[in-house]
Amino acid sequence: MKHFIVGTAGHIDHGKTTLIKALTGRETDRLKEEQKRGISIELGFTYFDLPSGKRAGIIDVPGHEKFVKNMLAGVIGIDIVILVVAADEGVMPQTKEHLDILQLLGIKKGFIVLTKIDLVDEEWMELVMEDIKEHVKNTFLENTPIIPVSSIKNIGLDEVRDNIDNLTEEIEERNVKDMPRLPIDRVFTISGFGTIVTGTLISGTFKVGDEVEIFPGNKRGRIRSLQVHDEAADIVEAGQRVAMNIAGLKKSSIDRGNVVAPIDSMKDTMMLDVKVKLLEDIPKIIENRSRVRLYIGTQEILCRIVLLDKEELSPGESAYAQLRLEESTVAKRGDKFILRFYSPMFTIGGGEVLEANPEKKKRFDKQAIEELEIKDKGETEDVIGKVIKDRSKEFPTVKDISIYTAMSEEDVSREIENLKFKNKVITFSLLKDIHVIHIEYFNYLQGKIEEELKKYHIDRPLKQGIGKEEIRSKYFKDIKPRVADEFINLLIKKGIVKQKNEYIFLEGFEIKYNEEQNKIKEEIKKIFIREEFLLPKYEDIVKEIKFDDDEIRQVFESLLDSGEVLKLKEDIYILKDIYERAIAILNEYLDKNGSITVSQYRDLLNTNRKSSIALLEYFDEIKITKRVGDKRIFTGKIEENR
């Protein structure tokens, strides 16, 4: 079902609240001070039924210049705007400022209501209408109806309702499948219920029982109940005015400007990359690092505007900028915002968020500006590709990218599949997580690993390769070992590297011994074969072979790396073929007898007690045998460890 919000805009005392009361029968000025002074200070909310039977939510915004920040908190999420102009005064300063704000926020649908027509004659009314038309030229309200209304005498109200009804057919449906976000515009408590927040749900859906988080600040709670138009609801959808009762949170821990969203779905930030545009008629040039007021969602934040591609910004100009905030916020690419000058306060412009979690940028950095151009003009796929490229060192998951972009995981996954089809990204599946990196980073890492292995093979020709753990610690720091292993496995599948035991080496690499090294190798093997199960020590081997000690060490280490010689424990080694025979003898005995002692195994191998203990303890360690008292029993894992 399509949901929509109608909002008012216009100068103070031009009849916005009176118009809403005439349309709905309800008073939106709820504060005593508002009713006493006859002006709106805070936002007012109500609803009414249209001639077609559709129900419209309606927001009344204050018109006084002192309460523009409250007005800005209300216009987020508005679908249809009624610009209210009083016939007895015509276009006034806040009429102009409100129109500028609506234009900057990208509001597309609306019309104009000329109120208090009972106070003026026909000729004056015509003059005011001509002036209004002149002021709305080149805005979304150009060529829209101007409906004369008297809320007191009930003139023109049906036409207003009909016009709203007709415009609802032109409104684009909100994305209810997107990540839900509710910018909070009001927080209060009700005795017996607890904390209530209200706002316009700008995307997605919430349902009773959902676990939610209040951003920024990482405060968590659960939706106890929901209301839309004063009626209980089990589920709420984008485009509805929502009252949400949150269990587990106190009113004091929530502020206007906070955002309700799913747990861990967004990331706080102190910077925003943006494209900003100044209004054409402001009386000021904006210099780099000017202090301004940012209005985003329902939040007001002081910040510095760092101009990235201009020395200064003149009226009517656009620029890429980084907003350095004085307090944290959350946002999504594409979110609109308004900027007002710090002091004196007046609206200077607005723009759109290009990156909600950026790194600090230097001014006039060509690469940084090109990246912002991609995010400004590119499709969603291009933007996600850029986010992946920027964060590939982290091997981000789909969920991580969802948080960085404030997009749903479903939408992110779809775009990643498109990028994967175009060979722009590589994915690694690990349990429930899918990690993704850009193809350029994959190629970069592949090249670095290849280069290191090539140098290693030249410097250490008798070593099998670099230990996998060393590769992981050098190139995959702070990355889960299993993710690093998946990367290495992909290199293996591509035929770039091979793995033997825990060593990584280049495809095609073989240990090649020179004539002297071959002689050393044969002498070492002869000693092992001669001693068989007596297991010679390394120092005994060195003493017996009449070659250079360093050459012997290199050959011996290469036999260990290749697995031809196994290390059972400190300074006790065995030839792989003899080790296999030791397992076969053990297996045959256990099959017949069920258990074996050290003495029995010693006698079977015709060796000494030290060697038989070394073998049995090694078998215990790799789970071939299990020690029970002074005996070993078979665990059934011999084949796995051969």
Q: Which domains does the chain have, with CATH numbers?
A: 5-168 (3.40.50.300), 182-262 (2.40.30.10), 269-367 (2.40.30.10), 377-512 (1.10.10.10), 515-641 (1.10.10.10)
Has this prediction a pTM greater than 0.85? no
**HSE of 379, CA atoms in CB hemisphere, 13 A:** 6
DSSP H helical ranges for 476-514: 481-493
Residue 314 to residue 323: CA distance in whole angstroms: 17
CA-nearest of 327, 389, 312 to 355 is 389
Tokens 């906070």 appear where? 258
Angle at 622 between CA 619 and CA 624, to 5 degrees: 55
Query: What's the confidence (pLDDT) of residue 343?
Result: 83
CB of 557 closer than 8 Å to CB of 572: no
Own/partner pairs, 564-567, CB within 8 angstroms, 24+ separation: 564/525, 565/524, 565/528
Query: What's the confidence (pLDDT) of residue 585?
Result: 93
Residue 227 to residue 501: CA distance in whole angstroms: 62
Query: What's the confidence (pLDDT) of residue 307?
Result: 97
Angle at 303 between CA 370 and CA 239, to 5 degrees: 80
Query: How far is residue 305 from each of residues 272, 288, 291, 331, 391, measured CA to CA in Å?
Result: 10, 6, 7, 17, 25
Residue 9 to residue 139: CA distance in whole angstroms: 15
3-class SS of residue 529: helix
Q: How many helices, marked H, and strands, marked E, lie in the chain?
A: 19, 34
DSSP state of 251: G
Query: What's the confidence (pLDDT) of residue 71?
Result: 65
Greatest Cα-to-Cα distance within the chain, rounded to the nearest angstrom: 123
Residue 492 to residue 490: CA distance in whole angstroms: 5
CA-nearest of 119, 120, 102 to 111 is 102
Residues ≥6 apart with Cβ < 8 Å to 566:
560, 573, 574, 575, 576, 579
DSSP state of 392: G
CB of 119 closer than 8 Å to CB of 47: no
Q: Which residues of the chain have pLDDT under 50?
A: 29-41, 63-64, 67, 639-642
Query: How far is residue 345 from each of residues 228, 256, 284, 597, measured CA to CA in Å?
Result: 35, 20, 12, 90
Report cis status (omega within 30 of 0) of the bond before 145.
Answer: no
Query: What's the confidence (pLDDT) of residue 443?
Result: 96
